[in-house]
Amino acid sequence: MNEDTIVALATPAGVGAISIIRVSGSKAFAVTDRFFFGKIKIENAATHTLHYGYIKNQDEEKIDDVLISVFRAPNSYTGEDSIEINTHGNPLIVQKIIELLVSVDEVRLAEPGEFTKRAFLNSRLDLTEAEAVADVINSRTEASFRGARNQLDGFLSARVNDLRSQLLNLSSFIELELDFAEEDIEFVNLDELSKRVDSIIIEIDTLLESYEFGRVIRDGVNVAIVGRPNVGKSSLLNYILKESRAIVSEIPGTTRDVIREEVSINGILFRLFDTAGIRISEDTIEREGILRSQETVRNSDVIIFLEDVKQGESRELQKDLLDLSSPDKIIKVLNKIDLDSTSEISADVKISAKTGEGIDRLFFKLKEKAIGSSSYTEKTAIVTNLRHHNCLKKSRENLINARESIIKKMSGEFISVDLRNAEMTLAEIIGEVTTEDILNNIFMKFCIGK
């Protein structure tokens, strides 16, 4: 049981029209009534009602006039008695009210994510849904928001729970057979068993494959723009951002540092890195810049390898890039086609960072590299979270072991242990089996007040 009643500011810290302070726990109503003066006591208020009145301090000085919403257990976010105090949006007022509330015994400031943690512990949300709450709050593009929303709506949970019940069915069949072993009754046909394990493995594989897409929509894609000096890397960055972010000049070696900017293209977050042009240089600062360009290439998911119609191809640089990265990450782009539209130089896309020609095709290629041709809909379960991915991988290993035991015609006990382990690892995703460590790790990443 959670003994303490917790308090936190739920809206962003700072000045605004209103601020909302949340209070949750068994003392939520009693502690509020000590300082709230309205028509009725919060203790007597019905759930989901709103009450106007004053918050006064111990000396009965008015601090603010407020509106308080009341949520009675179990029909609240946390599942506990909760209230939300709407105050004028001034940090001083908020601080005074929070100080008053936490001056009471067994009332304290909430830890990050503690409201959501309680919601989980009180079974208001399962663990994937609780994690999705943080993702919904933090998503900055349409696609990442949709992905988080999908998870919060329970699509992943439903998929995982279905797999778990299939596994439980299988293992109880086997265990039933073990109970009757001496009577020589065969409940499970081994071929059939092996087929069913295979089909579960395939379903897990589908979920595992969705992670590549899920990770991209959740975290975005790192894109390095690299090439020799003067090919137009900074011009391309500026064109995409629609602003003059990086210095552009006809002097080779203009960009020295890595410039990072984020942009949403077709709902996906791309983190663009404009880099120093790569060439042999005597200049120490430029050399450092070039080292940073190479480092950026190593850390990128996609590489725009830019060349221009005037300087032509550099096979040497292309070879160097291949050493730093893999060929399927590279998009070879030919720039400045406004100067020579008939250039024979081969490239995946031909563009002009000056006129914008071909940029749409570049965007299409970027999206293709980022998420492939995946056709996930809003109703497909998608894995966006590394923790879930790791659990699925572990569960898959258990199933591979089970399949081997079946093939080797080992005793049912072995098979059933592996199936049970596979099921338990899936249960970890939902949070049915957890440790304090796992929970702390997850809720630590939340903001205070959520």
Smallest gap from residue 75 Cβ to ligand GTP (A): 58
Q: Give the C-alpha separation, 420 to 234, whole Å.
A: 55
Q: Which of residues 207-236 bind Mg ion (CB under 5 A)?
A: 233-234
Give bridge partners of residue 23 from the DSSP assignment.
Answer: 7, 83
Rule CB under 6 A: choose which of 199, 206, 249, 299 binds ligand GTP.
249
Spacing of C-alpha 360 from chain mean position: 27
Residue 113 or 289 having the CB closest to Mg ion = 289
Of 144-152, 260-268, 350-358, 387-395: span binding ligand GTP (CB under 6 A): 350-358
User: Pattern 161-180, binding to ligand GTP, x per CB under 6 A?
Assistant: --------------------
Q: Which does 252 bind (CB under 5 to 8 A by kind): ligand GTP, Mg ion, none?
A: ligand GTP
Q: Where are the extended beta strands (E) located within 234-293?
A: 259-265, 268-274
Q: How many CA atoms lie within 13 A of 364 on its CB side?
A: 8
Residue type, 77: Y
Q: Which does 249 bind (CB under 5 to 8 A by kind): ligand GTP, Mg ion, none?
A: ligand GTP
3 state SS of 15:
coil
Residue-level length of the chain: 450
Q: Give the C-alpha separation, 394 to 380, whole Å.
A: 22
Check binding of 304 to ligand GTP (CB under 6 A): no
Q: Is 299 left (phi over 0), alpha (psi -120 to 50) or beta?
A: alpha
Of 4-12, 120-128, 248-256, 414-422: span binding ligand GTP (CB under 6 A): 248-256
Give bridge partners of residue 264 from the DSSP assignment.
Answer: 269
Check binding of 336 to ligand GTP (CB under 6 A): yes
Residue 118 or 233 having the CB closest to Mg ion = 233
Of 10-18, 147-155, 175-183, 351-359: span binding ligand GTP (CB under 6 A): 351-359
Check binding of 289 to ligand GTP (CB under 6 A): no
Give bridge partners of residue 53 from the DSSP assignment.
Answer: 38, 66
Check binding of 250 to ligand GTP (CB under 6 A): yes
Rule CB under 6 A: choose which of 25, 232, 412, 431 binds ligand GTP.
232
Residue 245 or 394 having the CB closest to ligand GTP = 245
Of 141-149, 159-167, 168-176, 331-339: span binding ligand GTP (CB under 6 A): 331-339
Rg (CA), the chain: 29
Q: Which does 395 bind (CB under 5 to 8 A by kind): Mg ion, ligand GTP, none?
A: none
376 CB neighbour count, 10 Å cutoff:
17
Q: Which does 149 bind (CB under 5 to 8 A by kind): ligand GTP, Mg ion, none?
A: none
Check binding of 255 to Mg ion (CB under 5 A): yes
Number of residues that bind ligand GTP (CB under 6 A): 23
Check binding of 229 to ligand GTP (CB under 6 A): yes
Q: Give the C-alpha separation, 330 to 358, whole Å.
A: 17
Smallest gap from residue 329 Cβ to Mg ion (A): 21
Which residue has the CB atom at the shortest distance from ligand GTP? 277
Check binding of 255 to ligand GTP (CB under 6 A): yes
52 CB neighbour count, 10 Å cutoff:
11
Check binding of 254 to Mg ion (CB under 5 A): yes
Smallest gap from residue 331 Cβ to ligand GTP (A): 16
Residue 82 or 335 having the CB closest to ligand GTP = 335
User: What is the binding site for Mg ion (CB under 5 A)?
Assistant: 233-234, 254-255
User: What is the binding site for ligand GTP (CB under 6 A)?
Assistant: 229-235, 248-250, 252-255, 276-277, 335-336, 338-339, 352-354
